[in-house]
Structure 1
Amino acid sequence: MTQELIEIVDVLRPGKSLVVAIDGPSGSGKSSVSKEVARRLKLAYLDTGAMYRALTWFCLDRGTDLADRAAVEAASKSLPLEISTSPLEEYVRVGGTDVTLAVREPSISAAVSAVATTLGARTELIRRQRELIEQHHRRMVVEGRDITTVVAPHAEVRLLLTASEEARLRRRGMQLGGSQSAEQLAAQVTGRDARDSTVVNFSQAADGVVTLDSSELDFAQTVDAALSIVTGIIDHKAINRD
């Protein structure tokens, strides 16, 4: 990142609303990139996907039938969730139990779409997500699948982070340390995307949403590109306001 961009980031809208909404498919790198963008911008950070995973863990732990949409919705309303909103730490707790690692297990990955496609549960978690944004005075990087269009459609910056299927499968495979077969990876990445796309479109940018394709970029380049988009949008809005 250039020194000029670093200086801009350090003074970006101090004391004013700055919500950066980032959507993207599985394996696009949105969690790691969003977290680093939040750290650089000194903003709060919310991984909404972890909330759906926590609800999935909660349902499975209680023996809730994931095919029973009414039961899943009820579970979402009683979910005793604590989730980190700092890019400097990561924790997910349900009823005081640390499930930070548990919610990343393959069993949760295989089941989370059943929860994420339950509209009543989505409504409840979206309500909680919006509440967290307000609690942080609307200064937060929020990432997921429906942030730019549903959770925070009026965010100052809306970004769709995407990558080719090949790149996404490769990255997820590296993240899992080669512990899964090609078939398992495909089921986790493209399979889940197909299921979740029945309730939200995260493959194409809506009007006003900037697309960042990271297929040929490494992590540092993707972060710099995202920060350049953020500063460019904020500068443009400031000029138009003046």
Structure 2
Amino acid sequence: MVALDGPSGTGKSTVARRLAADLGARYLDTGAMYRAAALGVLRAGVDPADAGAVLATVEGLDIHIGTDPGAPTVTLDGADVARAIRDAPVTSAVSPVSAVTEVRALLVAQQRRIIDDAAGIVVEGRDIGTVVAPDAPLKVFLTASPAQRAQRRAIQDGVQDLAGVRRSVERRDRLDSTRTASPLRPAADAVELDTTELDATEVLAALHELVAQRGLLVVAPGMSAQRGRP
């Protein structure tokens, strides 16, 4: 297993999917689970700041995450929501929803079941190395400058207001790093990788080097797994 943590705009999703595909492993985007929960809360007309109502709503949701790195899926109560969970209202709601301790406990349990069922998996999120899978053989915490992260996020979302995106990114950082349940922080034994001056290919190369150093699963194109479990 490979655990990739870090704030938004560091390139986690891009490199996590590519790494999983290269390794012949599964891929889990835990952030998509929290976004699906936030979407369910909004669709139910519940205030994301009302922890009790949020928990009651999330307990009744059916959230499913597909783990094929070539075609990851997200469904909420049987409907495809892969695009809907990226909408601005969901982005605003996901931090307060994910800050509810009991909600995190529910989704972490689901994440651990997915990890346990996989022969090898690359998992991305904000608390994988510290909470979800503290025994992961490789933990990497991606960082980047706030300016670079905002620029990447603006390009990804097709937004012109770079200053507004940066404020949103910094607000999410504050909320995620100061919440009581599973705050955003690197694990004590995580490798920290600054991606500010690196493109996705360079980050991926660095991750492959770390995987090889740890003796984890390495798959050549068109070949089956050679050894170990990612």
Give the TM-score normalised by the residue count of structure 2. Answer: 0.89
Partner of 1:45: 27
Aligned twin of 2:222: none
Check the 8 A contact 1:109/1:188 in 2, yes or no: no
Amino acid corresponding to residue 216 of structure 1 in structure 2: E
User: Which residue pairs with 2:67 in the alignment?
Assistant: 85
For 1:69 and 1:152, the matched residues in 2 are separated by: 25
Letter in 1 for 2:57: A
Query: What is the rounded CA distance, in whole Å, between the counterparts of 1:202 and 1:227 in structure 2?
Result: 24
1:214 and 1:223 mapped to 2: Cα distance? 10
Q: List runs of 5+ in structure 1 lacking aligned partners.
A: 1-18, 236-242
> Is residue 142 of structure 2 the alignment partner of residue 185 of structure 1?
no
**Matching residue's letter, 1:220:** T
| Mapped partners of 2:85, 2:183: distance in 1 | 24
Give the alignment of 1:38-77 within 5 angstroms: 38-77=20-59
Mapped pair 1:234 → 2:215: yes
Secondary structure class of the residue paired with 2:178: coil
2:200 to 198, 204, 219: 219
101-110 or 193-202, which moves further after superposition?
193-202
SS at match of 1:211: strand
Contact 2:10 2:144 in 1 (8 A): yes
Report how far residue 180 of structure 1 moved.
Answer: 4.1
Which letter maps to 1:215?
Answer: T
Partner SS state of residue 161, structure 1:
strand
* Paired AA for residue 55 in structure 2: E
Which of 96, 121, 136 lines up with 1:140 in the alignment?
121
Select which of 150, 157, 167 maps to 1:176. Answer: 157
Runs of 4+ more than 6 Å apart: none
**1:212–1:226: 8 Å Cα contact kept in structure 2?**
no
Secondary structure of the 1:82 match is strand
Unaligned runs of 5+ in 2: 217-230
In structure 1, C-alpha distance between the alignment counterparts of 2:99 and 2:160, rounded to whole Å: 25
For the residue of structure 1 that corresponds to 2:14, the secondary structure is helix
Q: CA deviation at 1:70?
A: 1.6
- Cα contact 1:50–1:92 (8 A) shared by 2: yes
Contact 2:139–2:190 (CA under 8 A) maintained in structure 1: yes
State whether residues 5 and 12 of structure 2, in contact with CA within 8 Å, keep that contact through their aligned partners in structure 1: yes
**What TM-score results when the alignment is normalised by the length of structure 1?**
0.84
Higher helix share: 1
Deviation sequence 1:181-201 (CA, Å, 0-9, x none): 123202331111111112244
Distance 1:79 1:131 in 2: 17
Indicate the percent of aligned positions where both proteins have the same amino acid. Answer: 41
Alpha-carbon distance in structure 1 between the residues aligned to 2:157 and 2:146:
16
RMSD (CA atoms): 1.4
Instruction: Please tell me whether residue 98 in structure 1 is matched to residue 98 in structure 2.
Output: no
Deviation at 1:122, TM superposition (A): 0.6
For 2:100 and 2:160, how far apart are their aligned partners in 1?
A: 27
Q: Which amino acid aligns with 1:89?
A: A
Paired residues of 2:44 and 2:57 also in contact (CA < 8 A): no
Deviates more, 1:58-67 or 1:118-127: 58-67
Between the two proteins, the alignment pairs up a number of residues equal to 214
